Amino acid sequence: MKDISCKLLVIGAGPGGYVCAIRAAQLGVDTIIVDAVPRPGGTCLNIGCIPSKALIHAADEFAAAAERATGDSLGISAGKPQINLAQTMEWKAAIITRLTGGVSGLLKKAGVKRVTGPARFRDGRTIEVETDTGVQVIHTANVVIATGSSPAELATLPFGGPVITSTEALALTEVPASLAVIGGGYIGLELGTAFAKLGAKVTVIEAAKRILPQYDADLTRPVTRRLKDLGVKVVCDTKAIGLTGKGMLQIDGPEGESRIKAGKVLVTVGRRPVTDGWGREELALEMDGPYLRIDQHCQTAMRGVYAIGDVTGEPMLAHRAMAQGDVVARIVAGQKMQWDKQAIPAVCFTDPEIVTVGLSPDQARESGREIKTGVFLLSANGRAMTMQANQGFVRVLARADNHLVLGIQAVGKGVSELSAAFSLALEMQARLEDVAATVHAHPTLGEALQEAAMAALGQALHA
C-alpha cells in the first residue's frame, strides 16, 4: 500500500478528534483522521453520553406512566405500563446511527480523509495503520492524540459474565431483576437511577462516605432523597470484594462483610486514559500521572505532537475535548491560540440533575477572598412548580469586593439546560450586577439565576 502524507493527522474520531479534524480542514489544513472503528463519535456518541441519555429519557417516561397507573396530582390516570427494553434499545441505536452518520457527512464535506484501523507510531512523524487491506503508512507534520479513555476495572471484579461496564449496561435487552452498582459517581448513579425506574432492584456501593463526593453535600442531598423514594439502596464507606456465588456479591463495610443479591454487577469506578497500544514508547512524551502532559497550546513534550480530551486529564468531558480540538486545529492552521478555558460546565444527569461551573463553595473559600453567596430555591420558581419540579436550587458565588462571579451551581429537574447561561456568565467575567440586570424570560427556570444574583446583592425579590 502506497504511503500517504498530510499536514495534520488526528488519532481518534471521538468528539475532540472529529471536531479538530473538521475545523482544521475548514481552515485549509490537509487533514487525515484515523480511528480503530468505522463509526466516528467515539465513546460519547456510540456507547456513552448519547445512549445513556436516551435510556434515562425512556426510564423517565416509564416512571411517569407508572405513577399515573393509579392517578396523580394532575388528574391524569392510565393503565399499568410495560416496557420492551429491546425495542427501546433499537430506538437508541437509531439515534446513534443518525448522529454518527451526520459526523461522517461533516468530515466528508470538510474534506477530511478517513483511515480505519488501529494506529501506531513509528516515530513522531510517521504512523502506521492496520487497515482491512493492509498496513497504511502515513507521514505527517503534526499529530493530535485523541485516544480517549476506557472503563476502569476492579481487580476483585474483572469484567465478564454478570460483571459489566456501562457499555454492556446500555446494550441490555431485558431489565435485570437486581443490579449492584459499584461506584456512586455520576455514571453509576445515572444508569442505576434509570434501571431503578424501569423496575430493577438497585443497590449502590460507594467507597467514599457519601455518593457524588466530587460535589458539595448541599447539591447531592436532593439526589439522595430521590434515590430513597425510588427504592434504591445506597451503601457508603463500603467496598466490593467479589462474587461469592450465583447472583451474590460480597461487600465489606463499617458493619463487616455481607452479601447482596445482584443478577448484574455494574462497575463504574472511573475511567482510565488510553495511553497504551498506539506506540507511546516510541515518543519522548512526558506524563502527568496517568495522563499525557500538555502545555497551554495542548502540545506534548514533542514539538508538533498535540494531545486533547480524556487522555490529557480531568475534567474528562466531551465538550472539553471539543473545545481543545478546536484550539489545536487553529494553532496548526497558523492562528495564535492557547487553551485557557476557565468555565467548563459539569453536568450530572441524575434525578434531579446537577450542574456546576467555576469554583465550588470550598474552592472559593480556599482562595482566601471574602465571598458573597446567593441562593434561590426552585420551590419559589413558577416554572418549576408548573413542571412539578420544585425540588432544588440555584446558587451563585462571587467575590465580595468587586462582585465578580466565581462559580454557579444548581440542582433540580432540567437544570442541565441552564449550563450554557452559567458558563457564559463566567466566560464573560460577569459581575452580580450584570446577571441581576439581565432581563430573564418569565416563567422560566432561568429566572432562578437572576434571583440568586439579586439575593447575593441583598436585593432578593421573590425569596
d(CA 427, CA 232): 38
Residue 127 grid cell = 504512523
Contacts of 241 (CB under 8 A, 6+ apart): 156, 250, 251, 252, 257
Q: Which residues pair with 157 in a beta bridge?
A: 154
Q: Which entry of 57, 297, 319, 442 is annotated as an active-site residue?
A: 442
**To the nearest 5 percent, what fractions of the chain are helix, strand and coil?**
35, 30, 40
How many CA atoms lie within 13 Å of 449's alpha carbon, on the beta-carbon side?
Answer: 33
d(CA 367, CA 365): 5
d(CA 236, CA 217): 14
Query: Does the active-site annotation cover 442?
Result: yes
Contact 238, 184 (CB under 8 A): no
The closest alpha carbon to 343, from 365, 317, 368, 369, belongs to 317
CA pseudo-torsion sign 192, 198, 200, 201: positive
* Catalytic center residues: 442
